[in-house]
Amino acid sequence: MIKTKIDAYSLLKKIRQEKPIVHHLTNWVTIYDCANIVKVLGASPVMAHAKEEAAQMANIASSLVLNIGTLTPEFVEAMKIAARSANKKGIPVILDVCGAGATRLRDEKSFELLNEVRIDIIKGNASEIVRLSGENIRTKGVDSSEVEQDMLAVTGWLSNRFKAVVVATGKHDIVNGKGKSYIIKNGHPIMTHVVGTGCMAASVIGTFAAVSKDLVCATVSALACFEIAAELAVKKSKGPASFKEKLFDCIFDLDDKAINKMQKIYL
């Protein structure tokens, strides 16, 4: 594995200049945090789920983030309407398969979305992503380097199957797309003690994807920036809740110096 030099800051700068609109159909638990993380990045979040306006809203946006965290069948129909509009406009669609594997409904609706509309970036934690790959990839990892190998295989298979960038978050994040795979080693364990960091990661990816045609690079840059901010935030915090507050402040203040010095992206 070799450390690679992706200019993660350049896209953050572009977000702050272009202030793209990032349309969400997301869950009711972390909806505020998803909107707010987009805002502190310098972009413009819009949350709109009515099927009567989902298409029009997607059409004024620069990317679309879907998250099935508190899905219902009706809500997924609105997601499809928004996604078709996004597909037509040619803006990237990010799907967070939040909770895939927990119930039949989540599995079925994840596959419905993947099969009926074009999803450009699929994002989940390791177990959610493994679930999507079904029986097609045998995972056998026990120790962390084996798990990493497994996740490289799983995301690679999924990326090929759905012609999408695939992200599996975890201690290290795996990004696979267009035959290339990256491992991002930024971040901090405290992120797992706060509800919403996974959902926010999807919104950050959606925001970076709004300003770049290269979705692999956008995804890798997004995760690196988000997690570098987390590393900075944890130093100023006294627990999970104060960490979350500092995380937003640190994203707002994130600069090229910190990113260039701290980013750990491996090829």
Longest Cα–Cα distance of the chain, Å, equals 49
- Look up residue 71 and give its two tokens: 């899905």
Burial category of 15 from C-beta neighbours within 10 Å (exposed 0-12, middle 13-18, buried 19 and up): buried
Residues in contact with 149: Cβ distance below 8 Å, sequence separation at least 6, in sequence order: 141
Q: For its own copies, which stretch binds (CB under 8 A), given 11-19, 68-76, 141-149, 216-224?
A: 68-76
Among the listed residues 20, 69, 177, 206, the single contact to its own copies using CB under 8 A: 69
- Is residue 79 within 8 A of residue 113, CB to CB? The reply is yes
Q: For its own copies, which stretch binds (CB under 8 A), given 46-54, 132-140, 150-158, 211-219?
A: 46-54
Footprint of its own copies on 90-129 (CB under 8 A):
99, 102-106
Query: Minimum CB separation from its own copies for residue 125, in Å?
Result: 13
Q: Report the C-alpha gap between 5 and 193 in whole angstroms.
A: 30
Are β-strands 93-96 and 121-125 bridged in parallel, bridged antiparallel, or unpaired?
parallel
Among the listed residues 13, 18, 19, 46, the single contact to its own copies using CB under 8 A: 46
Interface mask toward its own copies for 192-231; x: CB under 8 A:
-xxxx-----------------------------------
Among the listed residues 127, 163, 252, 266, the single contact to its own copies using CB under 8 A: 252
Per CB under 8 A, does 53 bind its own copies? Answer: yes
SS (H, E, C) 108-153: HHHHHHHHHCCCCEEEEEHHHHHHHHHHHCCCCCCCHHHHHHHHHH
Q: Which is nearer to its own copies, 54 or 220 (CB)?
A: 54
Count residues near its own copies (CB under 8 A). 51
* Binding site residues, its own copies, CB under 8 A: 27-33, 35-36, 39-40, 45-50, 52-53, 56-57, 60, 69-73, 99, 102-106, 193-196, 238-242, 244-250, 252-253
